[in-house]
Structure 1
C-alpha cells in the first residue's frame, strides 16, 4: 500500500511543526537579548546584594531570598530591602549564596525579579561593566536599538545607540557590553567606552 505524495508531505510538515512546538514548550521562558543598560533603565530597582539564603515565602508562587544590600544603583523605594522574590515558574531565577547584580520591579511593595532581569554574579562582571553601572542612569534618555545593513550607517544625530555591524556608528553586541550609551550636547546619543 503506497501513501500519496501530498499525504506524506503533509504528515512530514506536521511532524516538524509539532517537534518545534514541543521544543518551545520544553524550553519555557525566553528573553530577548538586551543590553544591560536597557534592562537597568526599564527596572524599578537595581542593586548589588549578597544573597544569604532562601527563606520561607509569605507570597504564593514566589520563592524568597534573604539578602544584604551592598549598593543601590537605582532605588525606587527608600525602605531597606532584606528579602527579594522570584517566580517559581521556568522564568524565575534561582540564586546561590554570594554577591549578585540584580534588577527587578516593585510589585505590591516587594522586589520581584526573573530570568529576563539582571541576575549576574558580581565576580563575573568585568571591571568596565562594574564602572558603567554608575553611568547607566544618565543614559536612560537614550534608546539602544538593533540595526542591520544600511540602518547601521545612519549619519543624522539621533537619540539612539546602535547594536549591529561594528563600524563608526554602531557596535557589535560583545563590544556594546563593555560600553554605555550616553547623551551628547547636540542631542544625539553615542557609545562611550
Structure 2
C-alpha cells in the first residue's frame, strides 16, 4: 500500500514479494486478505526479497512509536547504522552508529528499545537513540535512554 524507502516513484508498483518456500529456510508466510503488514527486506535487480530475518509485523501490532517513526522520524536516521550487541562488552566504532541492545535481554526478539526508540543523527553529528514518539529534547540528556 505504501513504500517508505528503496524505490523510485516510477518503480513503486510491487506485484510480487519473494521469500524462501518454507519457514525452515527462513521463508515468510502472510494472510494478505485478512491483515496489513509492515514488510522489510531488500531490493535486488528490481525484485523485492524478504524472510524471517527481516522485520515482518502485522500493522496493528506495531507500537505508536514505530508507526510514527515510519511516517515521520526514521528518515532522520538514514545516515546512521544500527550495530547489534549480542553479548557484552559492546562498543560503537564510529559516530554514525547506534548500539542496539535488545538482543541481550529478549532472546533475539524485538524488545523495548526497538519498539520505542529511533536511531537518528543529532545536530552534533552523532547518531543516538531518541524516543520515537516525541522530537528529541536538545537541552536535556536522559540517562535512562539506551
Under a length normalisation based on structure 2, what TM-score does the superposition of the two structures give?
A: 0.65
Q: Match of 1:71?
A: 2
CA 1:75–1:144 in structure 2 vs 1: closer, same or farther (change >3 Å)?
closer
CA 1:75–1:143 in structure 2 vs 1: closer, same or farther (change >3 Å)?
closer
What's the CA shift for 1:82? 2.6
Q: Match of 2:123?
A: 185
Whether the aligned pair in 2 keeps the contact of 1:139 and 1:183 (CA below 8 Å) is yes
What's the CA shift for 1:116? 1.2
1:109 corresponds to 2:59: no
Q: Match of 2:137?
A: none
Which of residues 138, 149, 152 in structure 1 aligns to 2:76? Answer: 138
**1:44-83 maps to which residues of 2 (within 5 A)?**
70-77=1-8, 78-79=10-11, 80-83=13-16
**Gaps in structure 2 of 5+ consecutive residues:** 103-109, 132-146
Q: Equivalents in 2 of 1:109, 1:158: separation in Å?
A: 32
What's the CA shift for 1:181? 0.6
1:160 corresponds to 2:97: yes
CA 1:131–1:117 in structure 2 vs 1: closer, same or farther (change >3 Å)?
same
Query: What's the Cα RMSD here?
Result: 2.7
Q: Equivalents in 1 of 2:37, 2:121: separation in Å?
A: 28
- Higher relative helix content: 1
Q: Equivalents in 1 of 2:80, 2:44: separation in Å?
A: 26
Q: Equivalents in 1 of 2:47, 2:99: separation in Å?
A: 34
Greater C-alpha radius of gyration: 1
